C-alpha cells in the first residue's frame, strides 16, 4: 500500500514551530529552517536533501500571511506583484513543482492568504506557473486556542489530518 509522502516547511519565525515539528505524523518530513538567513536556493536544497530523490504528494509552508500574500522567509514575501516582478520567485515555484507528484499539491498554512480577490488570484497565478494545485485559507490558520483552524477553505482540505498526528495535540 502506497502512503502519501508530505513535506512541511517550518520557518524559525513561526511561534511553536518546534511543537508543530514534534507532532508531525509518520508520513510527513519536516524541514525546519532559519527564516532570517535562508534564501530560496537554501529552501530548494533542503527539499532536495529531505526527499532524497522521491517526489512528495504535498508540500506545506507553515507561514505568516494575510489577505493576498504570505511569507517564505523574513525577506521573501509572495504576492501577485512580487511573483509577477521576480524571476527568482517564479524560478523557485517552478522548481518546487518538480519535487511534487503530477497530482501533487502545495498547502499554504498561513492566515487569510486567500481571504480576498488578490489572494485567490495569487493562487491561480501559482497554479498556472507550476501546473500544480495550491490551497490556502480564508480565515485564521492554527490552533483553536486562537480561534483558528487548519482548514484550507479554497479546497476544503483539513491540513491537520495531512501533516499532524492528531487534532487534539494541535490545540495545546
Average the pLDDT over 88-115 and give the result: 97
Q: What are the cell numbers at 46?
A: 533542503
In the predicted structure, residue 45 carries a pLDDT above the cut 80: yes
pLDDT of 171 higher than 60 = no
Enter the pTM of the model.
0.93
Could you tell me the pLDDT band of residue 144, with boundaries at 50, 70 and 90? confident
Provide the pairing of β-strand 65-66 with 69-71. Answer: antiparallel
Q: What is the pLDDT of residue 2?
A: 58
Q: What's the pLDDT at 143?
A: 80
Return the axis-axis angle of helices 87-97 and 117-130, rounded to nearest 10°: 60
Beta bridge partners of 10: 32
> CA 123, CA 9: separation in Å to the nearest integer?
18
More confident residue, 3 or 172: 3
Q: Find all residues with CB under 8 Å of 32, minimum gap 6, and list them.
A: 10, 11, 12, 17, 18, 21
Average pLDDT, the chain: 93
- Is residue 114's pLDDT more than 60? yes
pLDDT, average across residues 90-117 = 97
Amino acid at each position: 500500500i502506497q502512503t502519501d509522502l508530505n513535506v512541511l516547511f517550518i520557518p524559525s519565525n513561526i511561534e511553536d514551530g518546534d511543537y508543530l515539528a514534534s507532532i508531525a505524523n509518520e508520513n510527513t518530513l519536516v524541514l525546519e529552517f532559519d527564516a532570517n538567513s535562508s534564501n530560496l536556493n537554501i529552501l530548494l536544497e533542503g527539499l532536495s536533501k529531505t526527499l532524497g530523490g522521491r517526489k512528495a504528494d504535498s508540500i506545506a509552508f507553515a507561514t505568516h500571511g494575510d489577505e493576498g500574500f504570505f511569507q517564505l522567509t523574513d525577506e521573501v514575501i509572495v504576492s501577485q506583484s512580487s511573483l509577477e516582478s521576480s524571476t527568482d520567485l517564479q524560478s523557485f515555484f517552478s522548481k518546487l513543482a518538480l519535487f511534487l507528484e503530477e497530482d501533487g499539491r502545495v498547502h499554504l498554512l498561513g492566515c487569510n492568504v486567500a481571504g480576498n480577490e488578490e489572494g485567490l488570484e495569487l493562487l491561480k497565478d501559482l497554479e498556472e506557473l507550476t501546473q500544480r494545485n495550491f490551497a490556502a485559507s480564508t480565515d485564521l490558520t492554527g490552533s483553536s486556542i486562537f480561534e483558528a483552524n487548519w482548514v484550507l477553505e479554497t479546497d476544503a482540505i483539513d491540513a491537520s489530518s495531512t501533516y499532524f498526528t492528531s487534532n487534539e495535540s494541535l490545540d495545546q
